[in-house]
């Protein structure tokens, strides 16, 4: 029986990994120990719901004794003292708001130290899920072996994940494990399915809320909406690295099975990321919005956007301003040479063309940006 401890099992990404392992090995002897903040019964039902969303009919596999659920907060020592073959550490506080900084560091840095203690006690191999955006505001090419290079960070999330990854790298000098750095995860790019709507779903939800508010004001529930909105960005042709949950989990599993991966860091990023222009134009097409255009970032564009958002609702303004740095900054290129060395080549990703973006956006809008519970 191979025992896998999974943190963040009720989150947006870990259920894809759990399903992939169950689907690839239906007769295998995996045992999952899922650690999270929810009470065991609630956590079990949420994992079941999310596995069912990924694969209808598969929730029946989430049963005891194959699944065990332990309630615990990452900011506290982990209350699991049994053996484990592997620990998949997905859990993180992903909030970008400045007021959440202390809690973000406590969960992401302090929580990772508790996970390292757990691996030490249990003898488990660690699969640590970091983020490609530990690079902060760096531009150019980012190597997988680079980490702290004097970079500035957009928020406490990036800074805390960089510090946590540094702690993990130090630990990996004497223990088995590896680091995975996904970029901005957007759900299953083949189907559009997402389990929760964070990250770059937030600007889309802002545009959706602006559309709904405009329709309500105009008394026009259907049809196109004219909204002269300028979105500041570095350039419309700049590329933003977005990756599918399906790609991340598939590549992580492949790398985890190769002994030569031990001790290394891997970018789980899109080899050919989409342009900002494709992403925004697909969004406005699905929303049936006219008048939205990309402009070079600058004080005047930022002021105009802030004024328009403020005219609707403070919560809309807060959402947009929190996410704006990821739209307005020039994004780097994430080198994948470690992936190529271990796998022989960089696996292909579903093209993130307009059709793919429309699948992603339509699913989110049909859900009204409500997570699958």
**219 and 158 both lie in a single domain:** no
The answer to whether residue 6 sits within a structural domain is yes
Q: Which residue has the tokens 């977005």?
A: 242
Same domain membership, residue 258 and residue 224? no
- Residues 279 and 44: their CA atoms lie apart, in Å, by 35
Judge whether 367 lies within some domain: no
Tell me which residue of 347, 349, 315 sits closest to 213, measured CA to CA: 315
What does the pLDDT read at residue 214?
80
Residues 126 and 205 in one domain: no
Question: What was the pLDDT predicted at 354?
Answer: 92
CA distances for 48 relative to 30, 112, 245, 269, 319, angstroms: 16, 26, 18, 28, 30
Contact 253, 236 (CB under 8 A): no
The answer to the question of residue 361 being in a domain is no
Count the domains in the chain: 2
Residue 187 has pLDDT above 60, yes or no: yes
Instruction: Please indicate, yes or no, if residue 53 is contained in any of the structural domains.
Output: yes
CA distance to 19, 28, 71, 114, per residue, from 59 (Å):
9, 16, 20, 30
| Cα–Cα separations (whole angstroms), residue 19 to 3, 24, 123, 232, 244 | 15, 8, 25, 39, 15
d(CA 327, CA 141): 19
Taking the C-alpha atoms of residue 89 and residue 36, their distance in angstroms, rounded to an integer, is 11
Phi first, then psi: give them for residue 266, nearest 5 degrees. Answer: -130, 130
Does 120 share its domain with 210?
no
**137 and 246 housed in the same domain:** yes
pLDDT above 70 as % of the chain:
91
Query: Would you say residue 297 has pLDDT above 70?
Result: no
Residue 300 lies in a domain: yes
pLDDT in tens, 23-78: 877 666 789 999 988 898 999 999 999 999 999 999 988 888 889 999 988 888 88
Do 159 and 230 reside in the same domain of the chain?
no
Same domain, 233 and 143: no
Lowest mean pLDDT among 15-29, 181-195, 252-266: 15-29
Distance CA 263, CA 126 (A): 10
90/23 same-domain check: yes
Give the pLDDT score at 227. Answer: 78
Asked if residue 369 is part of any domain, the answer here is no
Residues 6+ apart with CB under 8 A from 276: 233, 234, 235, 236, 237, 238, 239, 240, 294, 327
Joined tokens for residue 338:
């470690």
Q: In CATH, what number is assigned to the domain containing residue 57?
A: 3.40.50.720
Work out the average pLDDT over 246-254: 97
pLDDT more than 90, % of the chain: 65
| pLDDT value of residue 49 | 97
Is position 368 within any domain? no
Residue 48 backbone dihedrals phi, psi, to 5 degrees: -60, -45
Average pLDDT over residues 305-312: 59
Asked if omega into 105 is within 30° of 0 (cis), the reply is: no
What confidence category does residue 327 fall into, taking pLDDT thresholds of 50, 70 and 90?
A: confident
Co-location of 215 and 297 in the same domain: yes
pLDDT at 309 exceeding the cut of 60: no
What pLDDT digit, counting tens, does each position of 269-288 carry?
A: 999 999 888 988 899 999 99
* Token output for 332: 């780097």
Q: Cα separation of 199 and 326, whole Å?
A: 9
Please tell me whether the overall predicted TM-score, pTM, comes out greater than 0.75 for this model: yes
Residues 6+ apart with CB under 8 A from 132: 142, 181, 182, 183, 241, 267, 268, 269, 334
Assigned domain for 342 exists = yes
Region label for 140, one of left (φ > 0), alpha (ψ between -120 and 50) or beta (otherwise): left
As a whole number, the mean pLDDT across the chain is: 90
Among 91-105, 108-122, 202-216, which is the least confidently predicted range?
A: 202-216
106 shares its domain with 214: no
Please give the residue range of the domain that contains residue 163: 2-189+240-272+332-350
Judged by average pLDDT, the poorest of 86-90, 106-110, 203-207 is 203-207
Q: To which residue do tokens 């002269």 refer?
A: 228
Helix (H) or strand (E) holding 71: strand 67-71
Residues 140 and 63 in one domain: yes
Report how far residue 107's alpha carbon sits from residue 114's, in angstroms, rounded to the nearest whole number: 10
Same domain, 20 and 105: yes
Judged by average pLDDT, the poorest of 337-341, 351-355, 361-365 is 351-355
């Amino acid at each position: 029986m191979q025992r896998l401890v999974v943190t963040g099992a009720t989150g947006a990404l870990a259920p894809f990994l759990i399903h992939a392992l169950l689907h690839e090995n239906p007769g295998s002897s995996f045992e999952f120990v899922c650690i999270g903040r929810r009470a065991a019964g609630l956590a079990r039902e949420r994992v079941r719901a999310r596995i069912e969303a990924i694969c209808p009919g598969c929730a029946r596999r989430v049963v005891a004794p194959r699944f065990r659920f332990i309630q615990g907060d990452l900011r506290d020592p982990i209350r699991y003292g049994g053996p484990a073959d592997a620990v998949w550490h997905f859990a993180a506080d992903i909030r970008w708001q400045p007021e959440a900084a202390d809690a973000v560091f406590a969960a992401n840095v302090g929580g990772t130290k508790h996970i390292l203690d757990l691996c030490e006690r249990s003898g488990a191999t660690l699969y640590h899920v970091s983020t490609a955006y530990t690079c902060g505001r760096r531009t150019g090419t980012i190597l997988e072996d680079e980490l702290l290079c004097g970079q500035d960070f957009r928020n406490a999330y990036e800074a805390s994940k960089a510090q946590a990854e540094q702690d993990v790298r130090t630990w990996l000098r004497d223990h088995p494990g590896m680091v995975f750095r996904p970029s901005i995860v957007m759900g299953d790019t083949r189907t559009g399915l997402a389990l929760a709507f964070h990250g770059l779903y937030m600007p889309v939800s802002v545009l959706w809320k602006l559309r709904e508010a405009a329709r309500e004001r105009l008394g026009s529930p259907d049809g196109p909406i004219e909204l002269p909105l300028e979105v500041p960005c570095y350039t419309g042709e700049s590329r933003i690295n977005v990756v599918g949950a399906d790609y991340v989990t598939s590549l992580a599993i492949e790398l985890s099975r190769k002994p030569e991966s031990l001790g290394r860091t891997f970018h789980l990023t899109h080899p050919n990321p989409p342009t900002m222009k494709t992403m925004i134009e697909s969004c406005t097409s699905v929303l049936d919005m006219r008048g939205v255009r990309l402009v070079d970032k600058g004080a005047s564009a930022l002021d105009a956007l802030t004024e328009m958002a403020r005219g609707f609702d403070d919560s809309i303004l807060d959402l947009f301003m929190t996410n704006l740095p990821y739209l307005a900054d020039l994004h780097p290129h994430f080198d994948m040479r470690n992936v190529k060395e271990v796998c022989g080549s960089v696996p292909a990703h579903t093209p993130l063309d307009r059709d793919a973006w429309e699948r992603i956006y339509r699913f989110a809008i049909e859900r009204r940006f409500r997570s699958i519970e």
